[in-house]
Amino acid sequence: MANSDISAGISIVTLAVEDLSIASAFYEALGWELAPQSQETIKFLQGNNMVLSLFSNDSVAEVFDAEFEPAEFPAVVLAVNLATEEDVDQFFRTAIDAGGDAVRKPDRTYWGGYSGYFKDPDEHMWEVAHNPFFKYNENGNIDLLSDANE
């Protein structure tokens, strides 16, 4: 880690959504937990080591004082990396059962991993993957630096 009292990291990812209740229910079905800090115009969902916030499209336009048009092709793909291929299959099924749209079912990849893609109800693209070249810590989080610290 760099010499600093502040570590690099993403603590919150905010997604613009059409319907807060539909989006919130979708992510709750995937394991995020609705936080009491949520409000009528924004929902906060606690995940493993991060927070997902959902902000209505109308609120996004108001905050930026501009017309908001969701992108036709995603500029960002969010990812959930899991420890096993079986975990990937289970998470993918849960996402589809909760209302996600299957883009590509999980399968072996050219780079030696296993992954699939789905869109949430607002067309945000998600990858769910197992990367056999990553190490995971006891909490199930990716730990790419453990070899560097040994």
Yes or no: say if 78 and 38 are a contact pair by the CB < 8 Å rule. Answer: no
The model carries a pTM of 0.75
Domain ranges of the chain: 12-70, 72-137
CATH of span 12-70: 3.10.180.10
- Mind spelling out the 3-state secondary structure of 101-142? EEEEEEEECCCCCEEEEEECCCCCEEEEEECCCCCECCCCCE
Q: In the predicted model, is pLDDT for residue 149 greater than 80? A: no
Residue 121 — pLDDT band, cuts 50, 70, 90?
very high
Q: Which fold has domain 72-137?
A: 2,3-Dihydroxybiphenyl 1,2-Dioxygenase; domain 1 (3.10.180)
pLDDT (tens digit, 9 = 90+) per residue, 69-118? 666 656 678 989 888 999 999 999 999 999 999 999 999 998 899 999 99
CB-based burial of residue 78 (10 Å sphere; 0-12 exposed, 13-18 middle, 19+ buried)?
middle
Looking at residue 96, its pLDDT comes to 97
